[in-house]
Amino acid sequence: MMMKNYIIAVFLLLAPALAHAVAEGIHLDKANIDPNNRQSQQRGARLFVNYCLSCHSADLMRYERIGTDLGINEKMLKENLIFTGGKPGDLMTVATAPADAKEWFGTVPPDLSVIARSRGVDWLYTYMRSFYLDDSKLTGVNNLVFPDVGMPDVLWELQGWQKPVITTVKDEDGTERKVVSLELVKPGLLTPKEYDRAIRDLVNFLEYMGEPYKYERQHLGVRVIMFLLVLLVLAILMKKSFWKDVH
């Protein structure tokens, strides 16, 4: 059991580096999330339960923990985040049977509790904005960041539909290469700027969910260091007072 816990701990420590290695060669847009923006995380939580939780679970998180951390009272929690008839103390599980999910999507959708730690916030931000129409796929869409992904574009009604545009550019050494960009061909309910903000909120929430204690621990660490610095100054002054008459 100790060895298993050790392996898990090592994986979590190396996850950001592994995510960077996987994303190497892919242009990732900066998410620029604000981990201290609770309103952003609240909006992200609402998006998560409305669009993600029907297929993706978050088995390491409880609704009441989100309410406590993000300043959402129990009444608001039940009205806006809990749609399964469950209780605030329940884990964020899904009703979709794994067998059904595998039949529909070709694989069981992964749990998203620590997805931000394994993939990275920039990867998630870019991925959720990179779906495009592709008639060759069963879902009708593909993704620039994750080619041949089995996930449908669940946020299409917010973003709209995009199509790929391929252009040829020349590097400084004269080498030609293909560049793929995305063009909005059918607007959604949100403008591109509003959609980008919505995805930033969603990623902000996923990043919080991956390590809820992270920012509490960081703030506590700052206070501890400040206390130790004050203690150091007092210790130096005490030492000088004790030794001032010693020659």
Residue range of the domain that includes 90: 12-240
Whether residue 101 lies inside any domain: the answer is yes
DSSP 8-state secondary structure symbol assigned to residue 144: S
Report how far residue 81's alpha carbon sits from residue 45's, in angstroms, rounded to the nearest whole number: 8
User: pLDDT tens digits, residue range 69-78?
Assistant: 999 999 999 8
Report how far residue 120's alpha carbon sits from residue 28's, in angstroms, rounded to the nearest whole number: 10
Coil, strand or helix at 202: helix
The two structure tokens encoding residue 176: 């030609």
Whether residue 21 lies inside any domain: the answer is yes
The two structure tokens encoding residue 43: 């909006």
User: pLDDT tens digits, residue range 149-204?
Assistant: 989 999 999 999 999 998 887 777 778 777 788 999 999 999 999 999 999 999 99
Residue 60 has pLDDT above 60, yes or no: yes
Q: Which residues contact 55 (CB under 8 A, 6 or more apart)?
A: 94, 96, 101, 105, 109, 154
Q: What are phi and psi of 112, to 5 degrees?
A: -105, 15
Whether residue 7 lies inside any domain: the answer is no
Please report the pLDDT score of residue 147 as a whole number.
Answer: 93
Whether residue 172 lies inside any domain: the answer is yes
Residue 177: give its domain's CATH number.
1.10.760.10
Confidence of residue 120 (pLDDT cuts 50, 70, 90): very high
Determine whether 237 is exposed, middle or buried from the number of CB atoms within 10 Å of its CB (0-12, 13-18, 19+): exposed
Whether residue 6 lies inside any domain: the answer is no
Whether residue 246 lies inside any domain: the answer is no
Whether residue 64 lies inside any domain: the answer is yes
Question: The whole model's pTM is what?
Answer: 0.76
Whether residue 245 lies inside any domain: the answer is no
Per the structure, the count of domains in the chain is 1
User: pLDDT tens digits, residue range 82-93?
Assistant: 887 788 999 998
